[in-house]
Amino acid sequence: MEAVETVAEQVRVRRDGGVAWVTLDRPPLNVLNMALMAELEAALRELRTDGTLRLIVLDGAGRGFSAGVDVGEHMGDAIGPMLDAFTRVAAAVLEGDAPVMAVVHGAALGGACELVALCDLAIVADDARIGTPEITLAVVPPVGAALFPLVVGRQRAAALVLTGDPISGADAAAWGLVWRSVPAADLRAEAEKVAAGFEQKSAAAVALGRRSLRVSTDALRGAIDRANALSVDALPGSADAQEGLRAFLEKRPPRWTHH
């Protein structure tokens, strides 16, 4: 089957046999704004209608996978719509029968780190930078707060959420946040090797395997909703959250009031 590519404004989809490659393409850092998230959700949901699909590969063009969700869209009352948009993307990743594999080079920060952790599989470059630095802006990553304890344990989850320090791709693999890490020069070849293996599998068997695995994480959607609600309730009225976001946008140190 000949590869077929479709291109939206900020997301490219290339279908090659039983594998679909979905590429974030918003230079220079693939920041996840509302428009990109809407395109990504639509692309994933469209792919879910094909029962012969065996794997969706999610990667990023350019310098890195993604620097995360647009900081400007965290401000004030924008936090609710932004979290809703990201939660819809998360649902599109979690639903359906074809597994999703992230392929990460450069950076996967904030919402991009959460997106990678939501995937069934992730292959990352050893030198990739992965983490959720939101706490340094006086906000938190609600999806990560709900998800990370399930995949890396309580203390490592706390380190990701409460310190904001990024970790290397190699450490992310050692922690269990991702499936494996490889030298950056080998990343594409490794992803293509895994994709070729899925091409040889039965779509029906892969679908059954994914449904069976999902039984253990059925409660995750509810946990994400509860964590989102905490942020929607707290952040619009938080002086420090608004200060942290403004300071980031204005490229200056924040001045905390601790409120």
Indicate which CATH number applies to the domain containing 150. Answer: 3.90.226.10
CA dihedral 161, 165, 167, 172 (to 10 degrees): -10
In a domain, 151, yes or no: yes
Q: What residues does 58 pair with on adjacent strands?
A: 22, 102
pLDDT at 226 over 70: yes
Q: What is the pLDDT of residue 78?
A: 84
The dihedrals phi and psi of 255, each to the nearest 5 degrees, come to -115, 100
In whole angstroms, give the CA distance from residue 158 to residue 165. 11
Reported as a pLDDT band with limits 50, 70 and 90, residue 4 is low
The tally of domains found in the chain comes to 1
In a domain, 93, yes or no: yes
Mean pLDDT calculated for residue range 104-119: 98
Q: What is the pLDDT of residue 7?
A: 66
Average pLDDT, the chain: 95
Both tokens of residue 70? 């647009």
Lowest-pLDDT range of 1-10, 23-32, 104-113, 207-216 = 1-10
Element (H, E) at 193: helix 187-199
- Cβ neighbours of 151 (radius 10 Å): 16
Q: What is the pLDDT of residue 119?
A: 98
In a domain, 242, yes or no: no
Percent of residues, the chain, with pLDDT higher than 70: 98
Domain that holds residue 109: 4-182
The dihedrals phi and psi of 178, each to the nearest 5 degrees, come to -130, 170
In whole angstroms, give the CA distance from residue 107 to residue 32. 13
Mean pLDDT calculated for residue range 139-168: 97
Q: What is the pLDDT of residue 2?
A: 57
